[in-house]
Amino acid sequence: DETRLGLVMLFTPIAAVCAMLLAPRIGAALGGIALPVATLAMACVFLLPGQAVVLWMFPLAMLACGAATGLTDVLMNARVAELENTRGVPLMNLSHAAYSFGYAGGALTTGAMRSAAWSPAWVMGSMACVCVLFAVLTWEKDGAIHGLRKPKDGTSGHLGLLPLIGGGIVLIAFLTENAAENWSALHIEKTLGGSPNQGAMGPATLALTMGFARLAGQGFAARINPYRLLAAGAVIACLGALIAAGAVAPPMAYAGFIVMGIGSSVIAPTAFSLVGRLAAPQARARAVARATLWGYFGYFFGPPTLGFIAGTFGLRMAFVFAAFMLLGVLALLPMMARTRS
């Protein structure tokens, strides 16, 4: 059931948090190959869940997945933030759009494989092979991430509240995305009586919407005040979550996921971009890494939290909970505007 699944997946956030704490040191040690190595490791370890033949093996497999994912996420966001500020071009929305399109493709492909009665081992193995090919794209001639270590002279050594506030906004965004990505398929299949293919369309609809919305956000980021963009995204995503919670048929749920995706798509990348912009140059990578750590508590602890709510009160209430969490972004924005690293 939802509660047991959420508890089993709790090993993922534990490993991810540990990896995120170590990510600045690992990234500094690996230098220019840090991101390619982390991405390749993430692709390889996702073979493991499909090989779990007994229950106790699955949490261990997810432990490895969480560690590799946490490391990759920190290094990716730090590298993109550095490129944004050195080149003066907004890139965070574009980077997160690629993730959304990848998630949509994975959801649709997984749904097709499930309908074709593919085993978990074949599904995870096929996806891992595809990810290995994409890992090659992370290679750069000069891909070093500067600022991962504290300056030896003590300048800009303190990060202040900026990563905590920015990470809080990202936490809410990822918790909301998690509600749709992990529970939308179950909501459609179990609450609304949809088929596995209809269920797979739930996260796919959200991911595709977020992908295209983030491409649009790439242009908006240069024209719209980032604080207004964050506030508008939170309100729109809240409305979408409530529509999904009150859906009486799969098409209505899809509509909710579309609205939810449009709003939530810009929250996390805009918050990461703001942290990188407001932080001192020598502390930028560490500030983004710390914000990623705080933010991903929402992404990784979302499954057990929402699983408990869904198992106790129903899947509809899980989406209602996500909707009310989004209103917290409006409270954090004034604090972030007054904070610098």
* pLDDT tens over the chain, length 341 residues: 656 776 777 778 788 889 988 998 898 888 888 899 999 999 999 888 888 878 778 888 989 998 999 899 899 988 988 888 888 888 888 888 888 788 778 877 888 888 888 888 898 888 888 888 888 888 888 777 877 777 666 555 577 889 999 999 999 998 888 777 777 888 888 888 888 778 878 777 777 888 888 888 777 777 888 899 999 999 999 999 999 999 988 889 889 988 988 998 889 999 998 998 888 878 888 888 889 888 877 766 676 788 788 888 888 998 999 999 999 999 999 999 887 65
pLDDT for 157: 58
**Length of the chain, in residues:** 341
pTM: 0.78
35 in Cβ contact with 75 (< 8 Å): yes
Tokens for 300? 């990784």
Tokens for 198? 């209809």
Fold of 2-141+162-337: Growth Hormone; Chain: A; (1.20.1250)
Measured CA distances, 160 to 104, 280, 337 (Å):
36, 11, 13
Tokens for 43? 């692709």
pLDDT for 16: 86
Domain map of the chain by residue range?
Answer: 2-141+162-337
pLDDT for 239: 95
pLDDT for 328: 93
Which residue type is seen at 70?
G
Tokens for 158? 């303190």
pLDDT for 42: 92
Find all residues with CB under 8 Å of 4, minimum gap 6, and list them.
Answer: none
Measured CA distances, 34 to 142, 181, 288 (Å):
11, 28, 16
pLDDT for 300: 66
pLDDT for 320: 93
